[in-house]
Chain A
Amino acid sequence: MQKKTGTRTCFILFVTLVCLLWVGSSQAQDYPKGPVQIVIPFGPGGLTDIFWRSISEFLGNNMKGTIVLVNKPGGGGVVGTSFAVNQKPDGYTLVAANSDPLSMSPVFTPNVPYNPDKDVTYIAKLAAMAFTISVQSDSPFKTLEEVVAFAKANPKKLKCAVMGIGSTPHIILEVFNRDAKIEITPIPFDSGGESVTNLLGGHTDLCIASVPSIKSHALAGKIRLLALCSPKRIPDFPGVPTMTEKGYQKSSIATGVGLAGPNGIAPTIVSQWHEAIDRTLKDPKVLAIIEKLGGIVIDFKSGEGYKKELMMYLEMFKKEILPTLPVKK
């Protein structure tokens, strides 16, 4: 007799326990249940890497989870992006979605193993990295117009350092060449740092590089900024006009910094990220860090908005720029 009641009590206790646990766990959040991996498709030390490392802790707090950053460099961002979008769309593998691998590489680099339209869930755009067109401070060119005038008279004479064929700086140059009807020759280097070094050494006439790369040299008076490729002027250099102001709106391409993942991520997860990013980008501590880096303009857009922007650029590149390039596809 006693055994039976004993077993029954046990059973009741067990069921209660299970119910409690079940209730308890549904109070805890559904996502993220564990660390979320964000793939950075560039090497450590690059601007994208530094940017994400600067904000990841804040963002993680706002998401109530941990963010783990993984570098998977290669192919100008293609390798890491392709890896991430081929993972399961459970929201635990995302990618730092820069615009280069998504709107430029599919056009200019052969055999990109993903379709930026169909294979990607866009979560948000966070910011834009502005590029500048600069010369040495003892260069005879004081304004962009002087450069254009000289280039018109001397085609192919001027050289401009860019960060690699098919990268944003290179495309900026090509669009600029086309819109101003001039021919400035690009010299591809491996990184923004290398481009700037060669400009300082006088081995090239112009240089298109990101703002953080040239910021300290400009402030030290060694480099003169002629124009900015960004939607609006930036506080670090209030006197420098944007390409849009100069009439070359199409060249005002800034590299977009965003977040994305494989196709098929649940909309609830997407909106959770959207909220968290919004909160992070309003945090004064985060803004202070980003401002110190310089040249990164906060440009918060929804996933849909980012996708629209990228596709628009992609179409423009395909239709207008690709036919003019000597690069074979």
Chain B
Amino acid sequence: MEVFKDLIFGFGVVLQPMNLLYCFFGVLIGTLVGVLPGVGPPAALSLLLPVTFYAPPVSTVILLAGIMYGAMYGGSTTSILVNIPGEAASVVTCLDGYQMARKGRAGAALGISAFGSFFAGTITIFLLIFLAPPLAGFALKFGPPEYFCLMVLGLSIMVYLARGSIINALIMVCFGLILGTIGLDQMTGVPRFVYKSITLMDGIGLVQVVIGLFGVSEVLINVETTFKQEIFETKMKGLLPNREEWKRSIGPIGRGTILGFFLGIIPGMSVVIPTFVSYVVEKKLSKSPEKFGTGMIEGVAGPESANNAASVGTLVPTLSLGIPTGASTALLLGALMIHGLRPGPLLIQESPEVFWGLVASLYAGNVMLLVLNLPLIGLWVKILKVPYHFLFSLILLLCIIGSYITNNNPYDVIIMVTFGLIGYLMKKLNYEAAPLVLALVLGPMMEKAFQRSLIMSEGGFGIFFTRPISASFLIVALLVLFSPLFLRRKRLRENLRAGD
């Protein structure tokens, strides 16, 4: 098949020592960037942009892409070890990954995360090659009405996210939605709930909220009493996942990969969303859903594969159509433009070595990352052995720097502290953070999509139902929301019958 010929050509490009070196640097920097909270791929990419002027275009692209998916590998490390998401996409990994670490299974969590990411990365590369053009065309069909209905579906899944009281979870969702409206209304330019603060004008940053809600609040909970009790169980029961954990992870990894890839293709889809969806799917499919949140490995395997698959997915519209799907891909495109390349449908034809070299480098990069990350597991796990009375100050420092770096704004740190306090109170009072985070992400997107759809339809609501894709999302959302009701009615009827 011609594709394989092109692929071999691509490998020929990548396996040149220069490009391999670029690939290595890319994934290394990406991993570091991912590990540090608050520093994301866009920051690293923009710092390195001038360096790329002096490099040939292929190497540039390899370097930048390496950073992008390297960050996905690294982001889970701090999530698992200290409950601080390195990337917004790693939030979900905190839920069960950190709990696994507390039970002494940090190594297993890190290992499954690395393998899941590797598997997702390699499989999605093939999906990218074969499916890119038709998928990209499909991605274009997503207009505002489709986005809105997809978000509605996303919110309806929230019901299953809750571990405890559903009402509390729903209150958290509303809270997240309201928080998401803080800032300048993009549609009218009117400031909402800003009260003349410049910091709030741009809304509450997701990074700061997440670091506060998860990282800081965890520290606060732990310092309530003296540290005589071990925060982390020190007797590591083995560094890598055991047989049973492997077996349980296969399904989630596969599902996460598919889910992440197809959701990631949609332009503008935050990488956060596929991870949440994967988590909820795994929870629903599990035989013991109530244990999610206490250290179930499925809750790590699925989302971790999903976020890597999604980051490859975002490359689909970028490479085949030249459409940026987020800040990282926008920078990638910018770098290509500076080199005089034309990202878009012509890229494959005009500069095949760039395209195929990039694709081949994705595979090479994934291999490098696996090799890099596995031995590091031992190192990371040792960090947990640092006595907590010292470790906690390091964690807090990391939180502060992470929140500050995004905008070089000290008020962001204040936001983080506030949410640290809020998160602490929430933990004491049994409110969950995950629905809040998802609502904070989905809310603004949903509102914009809604308003744009109404502009498009000049006020008519029919637009959501007449377009096939959005209508189907709505139907699924309705099913999701009302199916528990039906099930309950059925059970009620059965109980009544049994009681006769």
Whether A and B touch directly in their complex, counting CB atoms under 8 A apart, is answered as yes
- Chain A residue numbers with a CB within 8 Å of B330 are 45-46, 191, 193
- Chain B residue numbers with a CB within 8 Å of A46 are 330
Interface size on A, residues (CB 8 A): 60
Q: Is the CB of A276 closer than 8 A to any CB of chain B?
A: no
Q: Is the CB of B196 closer than 8 A to any CB of chain A?
A: yes
- Chain B residue numbers with a CB within 8 Å of A79 are 198-199, 201-202, 407, 409
- Let me know if B338 and A54 touch, CB within 8 A: yes
Q: Is the CB of A309 closer than 8 A to any CB of chain B?
A: no
Q: A79-B198, A108-B189 are in contact. Are A74 and B140 (CB under 8 A)?
A: no
Interface size on B, residues (CB 8 A): 55
Proximity bits, B326-354, A CB within 8 Å = 1, else 0: 01101100100111101111110000000
Q: Is the CB of A196 closer than 8 A to any CB of chain B?
A: yes
- Chain A residue numbers with a CB within 8 Å of B144 are 187, 198, 203
- Chain A residue numbers with a CB within 8 Å of B140 are 197, 200-202
* Chain A, interface SS category: mixed
Proximity bits, A56-89, B CB within 8 Å = 1, else 0: 1100000000000011111110110010000000
- Report A105 CB to chain B, min CB distance, Å: 9
- Let me know if B338 and A293 touch, CB within 8 A: yes
- Chain A residue numbers with a CB within 8 Å of B455 are 159, 185, 187
C-alpha gap A187/B188 in the complex (Å): 11
Which of the residues B42, B191, B337 comes within 8 Å of A294, measured between beta carbons? B337
C-alpha gap A46/B201 in the complex (Å): 20
- Let me know if B53 and A54 touch, CB within 8 A: yes
Q: A203-B143, A216-B346, A292-B340 are in contact. Are A43 and B42 (CB under 8 A)?
A: yes
C-alpha gap A204/B407 in the complex (Å): 33
- Chain B residue numbers with a CB within 8 Å of A212 are 337
- Let me know if A53 and B322 touch, CB within 8 A: no
- Report A42 CB to chain B, min CB distance, Å: 11
Q: Is the CB of B235 closer than 8 A to any CB of chain A?
A: no
C-alpha gap A44/B405 in the complex (Å): 13
Give the residue name and chain of the B residue nearest to A213 (CB): B324
- Report B194 CB to chain A, min CB distance, Å: 8
C-alpha gap A219/B347 in the complex (Å): 11
- Let me know if B198 and A292 touch, CB within 8 A: no
- Chain B residue numbers with a CB within 8 Å of A278 are none
C-alpha gap A188/B345 in the complex (Å): 26
Q: Is the CB of B231 closer than 8 A to any CB of chain A?
A: no
Q: Is the CB of B159 closer than 8 A to any CB of chain A?
A: no
Segment touching B, from A109-117, A122-130, A254-262: A109-117
- Report B482 CB to chain A, min CB distance, Å: 30
- Let me know if B190 and A196 touch, CB within 8 A: no
C-alpha gap A57/B47 in the complex (Å): 12
- Let me know if A50 and B268 touch, CB within 8 A: no
Give the residue name and chain of the A residue nearest to B205 (CB): A74
C-alpha gap A106/B133 in the complex (Å): 44
Restricting to B303-342, which residues have a CB under 8 Å from any CB of A?
317, 321-324, 327-328, 330-331, 334, 337-340, 342
- Let me know if A73 and B186 touch, CB within 8 A: no
Q: A109-B189, A110-B191, A159-B455 are in contact. Are A45 and B323 (CB under 8 A)?
A: no
Q: A57-B50, A78-B201 are in contact. Are A72 and B407 (CB under 8 A)?
A: yes
Q: Is the CB of B456 closer than 8 A to any CB of chain A?
A: yes
C-alpha gap A156/B455 in the complex (Å): 10
- Chain B residue numbers with a CB within 8 Å of A194 are 267-268
- Let me know if B324 and A109 touch, CB within 8 A: no
Q: Is the CB of B242 closer than 8 A to any CB of chain A?
A: no
- Chain B residue numbers with a CB within 8 Å of A185 are 455, 458
- Let me know if B408 and A72 touch, CB within 8 A: yes
- Let me know if B45 and A44 touch, CB within 8 A: yes
- Let me know if A165 and B186 touch, CB within 8 A: yes
- Chain B residue numbers with a CB within 8 Å of A202 are 140, 143
C-alpha gap A84/B383 in the complex (Å): 40
- Let me know if B42 and A44 touch, CB within 8 A: yes
Restricting to B352-408, which residues have a CB under 8 Å from any CB of A?
407-408
C-alpha gap A292/B331 in the complex (Å): 15
C-alpha gap A215/B322 in the complex (Å): 10
Which of the residues A53, A56, A166, A197 comes within 8 Å of B267, measured between beta carbons? A197
C-alpha gap A318/B37 in the complex (Å): 43
- Chain B residue numbers with a CB within 8 Å of A198 are 143-144
Restricting to B125-146, which residues have a CB under 8 Å from any CB of A?
140-144
C-alpha gap A203/B139 in the complex (Å): 12
Q: Is the CB of A308 closer than 8 A to any CB of chain B?
A: no
- Report B60 CB to chain A, min CB distance, Å: 13
Q: Is the CB of A178 closer than 8 A to any CB of chain B?
A: no
- Let me know if A292 and B143 touch, CB within 8 A: no
C-alpha gap A328/B456 in the complex (Å): 22
Q: Is the CB of A289 closer than 8 A to any CB of chain B?
A: yes
Proximity bits, B95-112, A CB within 8 Å = 1, else 0: 000000000000000000
Q: Is the CB of B452 closer than 8 A to any CB of chain A?
A: yes
Q: A110-B190, A165-B186 are in contact. Are A200 and B321 (CB under 8 A)?
A: yes
C-alpha gap A76/B458 in the complex (Å): 27
Q: Is the CB of B236 closer than 8 A to any CB of chain A?
A: no
- Let me know if A165 and B188 touch, CB within 8 A: yes
C-alpha gap A117/B173 in the complex (Å): 44
- Report A266 CB to chain B, min CB distance, Å: 26
Q: A198-B143, A220-B346 are in contact. Are A187 and B408 (CB under 8 A)?
A: no
Interface centre among B327, B334, B458 (most CB of A within 10 A): B334
- Chain B residue numbers with a CB within 8 Å of A73 are 202, 407
Q: Is the CB of B425 closer than 8 A to any CB of chain A?
A: no
- Chain B residue numbers with a CB within 8 Å of A200 are 140, 321, 323
- Chain A residue numbers with a CB within 8 Å of B43 are 44, 71
- Chain A residue numbers with a CB within 8 Å of B201 are 74-75, 78-79
Q: Is the CB of B234 closer than 8 A to any CB of chain A?
A: no
Q: Is the CB of A231 closer than 8 A to any CB of chain B?
A: no
Interface centre among A164, A204, A220, A222 (most CB of B within 10 A): A220
C-alpha gap A49/B50 in the complex (Å): 11
Q: A43-B327, A165-B187 are in contact. List 5 more A-B contacts (CB 8 A).
A: A72-B409, A111-B194, A156-B458, A220-B346, A289-B338
Q: List 18 A-B contacts (CB under 8 A).
A: A45-B327, A45-B330, A47-B334, A49-B46, A50-B337, A54-B50, A75-B198, A75-B201, A109-B189, A190-B448, A193-B323, A201-B141, A219-B344, A219-B346, A220-B346, A293-B337, A294-B337, A328-B188
Question: What 7 pairs across the A-B complex have the smallest Cβ distances?
Answer: A44-B46, A203-B143, A74-B202, A216-B344, A45-B330, A201-B140, A45-B331
